[in-house]
């Protein structure tokens, strides 16, 4: 099972697609997400979110001041100024 990831900024959707792994830094520390992860809502800290898509090279996103939510293998990364690094 893959994770359905979408990364959105206030003005547009930055990236969306299927990924095998997402890792990010929340205010409490690193979090790694694989398929089947329990539902989480986390506040992101400074730093990059790394997404490993099913096919293609890993991508990194700047998402300061953002949120990460996981629910039933849907991962949403929401930040006002999210952009691909």
Partner 1 sequence: MGAQLRVYTQKIKSAQTTKKITKAMELIAASRIQKALARVEASSPYARAITRAVSAVATYSNEVHDLTLERDEIRRSAIVVLTSDRGLAGAFNSQILREAGELRAQLEAQGKEVEHYLVGRKAVQYFQFRRRAAVRDWTGETDVPTADLAKEIADAVIESYVKGSADGGVDEIHVVYNRFVSMMTQEPQTVRLLPLEIVDAADDATDGEHFPLYEFEPEPGRVLDALLPVYVESRIFNALLQSAASKQAATQKAMKSASDNADTLITDYTRLRNNARQAEITQQISEIVGGADALGSAK
For residues 84 and 61, the answer to whether their CB atoms sit within 8 Å is yes
Does 13 help bind partner 1 (rule: CB under 8 A)? yes
Give the span between the Cα atoms of 45 and 83, in whole angstroms: 15
Distance CA 54, CA 46 (A): 26
Binding residues for partner 1 restricted to 49-68, rule: CB under 8 A: 67
Tokens for 22? 């997402």
Q: Would you count residue 9 as binding partner 1 (CB under 8 A)?
A: yes
Q: Report in angstroms how near the CB of residue 36 gets to partner 1 at its nearest.
A: 12
Residues that bind partner 1 (CB under 8 A): 6, 8-13, 26-28, 31, 38-43, 67, 69, 71, 76, 78, 80-81
């Amino acid at each position: 099972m893959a994770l359905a990831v979408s990364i959105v900024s206030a003005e547009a959707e930055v990236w969306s697609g299927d990924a095998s792994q997402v890792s990010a830094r929340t205010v409490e520390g690193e979090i790694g997400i694989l398929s089947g992860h329990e539902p989480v809502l986390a506040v992101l800290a400074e730093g990059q979110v790394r997404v490993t898509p099913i096919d293609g090279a890993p991508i990194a996103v700047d998402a300061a001041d953002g949120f990460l939510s996981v629910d039933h293998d849907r991962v949403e990364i929401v930040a006002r100024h999210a952009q691909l690094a």
